[in-house]
Chain A
Amino acid sequence: MLQEYVDRKYRRDNKPPVEANLIKNRTAIVGIGQTSYTKNSGRDELDLACEAIRNAVDDAGLKISDIDGFDTFILDRLALPMLVNALGIPDVAFSGEVSGGGGAGCAVAMHAAAAVVTGQANYVCVYRSLNEASGHRYGRGDDFIEYMPVALTPNYAYTWPLGFVTPLGWAGVWGKRWMYEFGITREQIGWWPVVLREYAQNNPDAMFYGRPMTHQDYMESPMIVDPLKLHDCCVNTDGAAAYIVTTVERARDLRQKPAIILAASQSCPIEQEIQTVYQRPIISGLVETWYVGQELYRVGECGPDDIDVAQLYDPYSIGGIIQLEELGFCERGEGGKFIEGGDNIRIDGKIPCNTAGGLLSEAYLHGYNLVIEGVRQIRGTSYNQVKDVELSLVTAGPGVQSSGIILRG
């Protein structure tokens, strides 16, 4: 099982040839839009989605009626016909949805790119709208199961009766194992949220804008589920975000500098569960992130050293840090040391990470805000702009079937 991962040898012989990958260099993200991120929007999710989509369309220099495709999470609660009726779109030529919670964060962009590059749609709108703070909260145990599709639940039969009911707890198990195997300390982990909070201080859209946090604040914050402290956890958010994907040819005629998709990949490795990936030979790593990264590097014909800035999906700190290892930014087990002091992930560091504040300090918009920040880094319009960005990497949720993209100018 997962011999490729155990041996760290990615098989290329069983993959479609790179030349057959039509997405590569032929598609781009051309418009980005978001609502304000709040604790209580006071508005419908449909309302929020319309605003974010209109902002994305305006940003691209398009008309709403240009959109002829949609992609989102299966978790998204909007009925597509209602959205289409509100937007007044004459015809929709493509519609897709992706499972795996936050793991779909970049898969939606990949599928949108596949749709436009195969001529099945012209402009695909990728959207997500959620009143996660004021409405249903994914991290809460009591009604979590009600919101999960029935078919996803077999593994819950083993965990629920034990009171083992929240993603935080499930992830804590593999997080703890990682800390144990490699001697990672809580002090080291703390640098991830601390640096992200620094970034958020320059980002007026961030939920934690104007609320700085020191490493000491972090250390003194309460433990939610050992080993995760309050500030290791993402910030529940009400809001919506959207972006538009089209072909590179069409992108040239639009308002913004296109963020071209160099590579996009998806991975669902065996024994994938919602965070309870305990049957794998190794649980102290993120198998899906490793696969996503390997495929991105294969298709993009590049490596971790070529990446200038990264947005790593971090529902909790450990999820972000282990991804640094799995994507090759540091050695396996060296994640703790790598982020000690935080300099490596700061703006002038080896690999600046989550430069808008990430899910911990900007917003928990299921990774859509990470894609948007990845695009801004290519455009040169980030609040924490990294210099001379050529390649900008974005990943999606760890611990579930995951995905990633590499953007370029």
Chain B
Amino acid sequence: MSTTNVLNPGYASDSENYLKNSTGILSWMFTLDHKRIGIMYLIGILSAFALGGALALAIRAHLLEPDGTLFTNDQYNQVFTLHGAIMVFLFIIPSIPAALGNFLVPVMLGAKDVAFPRLNLCSFYLWVCGAVFFICALLGSGLDTGWTFYTPYSTTTDTSVILATFGAFVLGFSSIFTGLNFIVTINTMRPPGMTWFKMPLFLWATYSTSIIQVLATPVLGITLLLLIAERTMKIGIFDPEYNGDPVTYQHFFWFYSHPAVYIMILPAFGIISELIAVHSHKHIFGYRFIAYSSVAIALLGFLVWGHHMFTSGMSALTTIIFSALTFTVSVPSAIKVFNWIATLYKGSISLTTPMCYAISFIFLFTIGGLTGLFLGVLSVDLHLHDTYFIVAHFHYVMMGGTLIAFLGGLFHWWPKMTGRMFSELGGRISCLIVFIGFNMTFLPQFVLGSRGMPRRYATYDPEFTLLHQWSSYGSFILGMGLLLAGIVLVVSLYNGKKAPSNPWGAVTLEWQCTSPPPFYNFARPPVVGDPYDFHDLRWDALTENYVIDTPPRKVAPETLPLGTPAHAGGQD
């Protein structure tokens, strides 16, 4: 008898498979299973992304000509506002934490579910409710304030500001509930042996994100309620006509919305830490520095909101202090990039689709991060503020960063979520097209900005035409790349190969259950070791799966859970 066991859970039976153990629309609508809620979120946010993306392409098509090709100025203002609001509130903020996080956090913890499954379902329905408000605003008189709702424009325009802000208010609660749930889950439901420093880095990132969600989002809620109160009851808070101050609104708004930038990017850091380590089959370099830098970013992120307001007329001292604080945030972000590259060094790299996305993330995010330095330098910011330079910078961070990481994560965990392998060739081609299209769209915008092209312009001076056209053509390529990625994933659902439990060779817990996981995730709390120790990992050519050799282990309790869930008649 051998002294080691081979960890290979095989395949889930239909009655155990969380996707198939119960059927019917109601079994999804009222599910408390975090995995199903994660899938519902995924469908929701991808629909939002498709809508926001279509609006983005419409914007770029409009800007092919200096006088615009598609819209009147009013229509253009509504289109760019909805693009921003939908992407920020309905897509990026919930993308990684709510969709991937919901699926992954409990499985990575070896737990059966999140701490509060009902709260989890509630947060999904709040998201739907918020999305409905946004759609009502869109179908009503539209929204033309920009996603920032700056007063006094937002208190005087005729469009559906109240519907949209109320939607954002409701979405805020969805976000708070998710964050709260994850904080409690990670604090209380880690399996025996998983100390804080044995957690996968994705969980550190999720934990840091959740702290921001819980602490910062209420401020947005209060701000938006004040805005609604001012609009409906003419209470003077932000509008100078009633003795308010518009700059107060900007302080309140960015006190949330700057930390929200880190709600968007921190989970992406978590994904990349996983992807780089797993596909290099090498211990992540500098685990503690990466973990601490997530927390540092979360905390420092609360102190730098003023850098959105360098030209608003704050006092010189305040402005300079905010500039200094802004530079401190760049340090933990840089640490992560260095650590990821050190992890690649002397690894055993598989250039899979998720890895390709992770590599393009590092490239794009580094550009996004470095161009932030220009904006932190006060004298240069006075020139670049509110120009296309800003637009390019935050798209490099939000889209080149978060969206690319989200796609990488989606490809990475797709076999786990759906039980299907996708076409590697198709996936890699999509990554290449997205990479080329992305750079072609946004690199010219840096030059546009430093040459003085203001943002949010429906029409522009003829000297900017060439760069705008490059950007537009790039965006069409980018759109095709994203469409191809979507097609690759959807096709895999119909004729993809059945996924083994551990196709990439990862050692975190989610790869130690079947693909897709059973509804109970794990029969027993799994044995926890270092999440990045690849010594015992072995490629098993026979099952086309990575397996882990583990020392023999006595299991307790000795009885297994029932093969079918209670609500599907499994109790008797």
Q: Do A and B bind each other?
A: no
Chain B contact residues, CB within 8 Å of chain A: none
